[in-house]
Structure 1
Amino acid sequence: MAADGALFLPSTGPDPIPLDVAAAAVLGYARGRRPLRFRSPSTPEGRWVQVLAFGFERFDRHPRPDGPLRDADVLVAEGLHGRLSPDGWAAVRQALDDARDLADAATARAGGRAFWDLPADEFSVLGEPGTVGAALRGLGKLGSAPQAAYVAAALHHRRPELFPLLGGPTGRQLWPHVEEGDSGVAAVVHRELTANAEGFAALGTAVTALLGGLEVSRLRLHDVLLWLSGSLRLGHAVGLGRAAPEWASAAEV
Structure 2
Amino acid sequence: MSTLSAGDVRLALDLPSAGPEPLTGRTALAAVLGYARGRRPLRYRSPNEREGRWVQVPAFGHERFDARPVPSGPLGDDDVLVAEGLHGRLDPESWTAVRRALDEAQPVADALVARAAGRPFWELPADELSVLGEPGTVGAALRNLAELPQPQPRYVLAALHHRHPELVPLLTRATWLQSVAHLREGDSGVAAVAHRELRANAAAFAELETAVAALLPAAPLTRLRLHDLLVWLSGTLRLPTAVALGEGTEEWRRLSGS
| TM-score (ref. length: structure 1) | 0.96
Residue among 7, 15, 20 paired with 2:26:
20
Report the RMSD for the aligned CA atoms in angstroms.
1.3
CA contact (8 A) 2:115 2:137 kept: yes
Residue among 228, 240, 256 paired with 1:235:
240
1:139 shift after superposition: 1.0
Which amino acid counterpart does residue 70 of structure 2 have in structure 1? R
Counterparts of 2:111 and 2:46, CA distance in 1: 49
Note if 1:156 corresponds to 2:161: yes
1:168 shift after superposition: 2.2
Partner of residue 177, structure 1: 182
Q: Give unpaired runs (5+ residues) of structure 1.
A: none
Note if 1:116 corresponds to 2:122: yes
> RCO (CA 8 Å, sep 6+): is it higher in 1 or 2?
2
Between stretches 23-32 and 159-168, larger displacement belongs to 159-168
CA contact (8 A) 1:22 1:225 kept: yes
Map Cα deviations across residues 142-166 of structure 1 (whole Å, 9 max, x no partner). Answer: 222x210000000000000000002
Secondary structure at 1:6's aligned position in 2?
Answer: coil
CA contact (8 A) 1:40 1:46 kept: yes
Partner of residue 172, structure 2: 167
Counterparts of 1:19 and 1:222, CA distance in 2: 13
Note if 1:105 corresponds to 2:121: no
Q: Give unpaired runs (5+ residues) of structure 2.
A: 1-5
Which amino acid counterpart does residue 147 of structure 1 have in structure 2? Q
Counterparts of 2:42 and 2:172, CA distance in 1: 28
Alignment of 1:70-149 (within 5 A): 70-144=76-150, 146-149=151-154
Secondary structure at 1:40's aligned position in 2?
Answer: coil
CA contact (8 A) 2:65 2:85 kept: yes
Residue among 203, 207, 216 paired with 2:208:
203
Which amino acid counterpart does residue 134 of structure 1 have in structure 2? A
Q: After TM superposition, what 4+ stretches of structure 1 lie above 3 angstroms from structure 2?
A: none
Counterparts of 1:185 and 1:124, CA distance in 2: 11
CA contact (8 A) 2:66 2:219 kept: no
CA contact (8 A) 1:210 1:250 kept: no
Counterparts of 1:151 and 1:29, CA distance in 2: 22
1:42 shift after superposition: 4.9
Count matched residues: 252
Map Cα deviations across residues 25-81 of structure 1 (whole Å, 9 max, x no partner). Answer: 000000000000111245422111111000000100100001100000000000000
Counterparts of 2:196 and 2:77, CA distance in 1: 33
Partner of residue 217, structure 1: 222
Counterparts of 2:50 and 2:210, CA distance in 1: 46
1:169 shift after superposition: 1.5
Which amino acid counterpart does residue 34 of structure 1 have in structure 2? R
Identity %: 64
Residues 97, 113 of structure 1: CA spacing in aligned structure 2 closer, same or farther, 3 A cutoff?
Answer: same
1:211 shift after superposition: 1.8
Partner of residue 3, structure 2: none
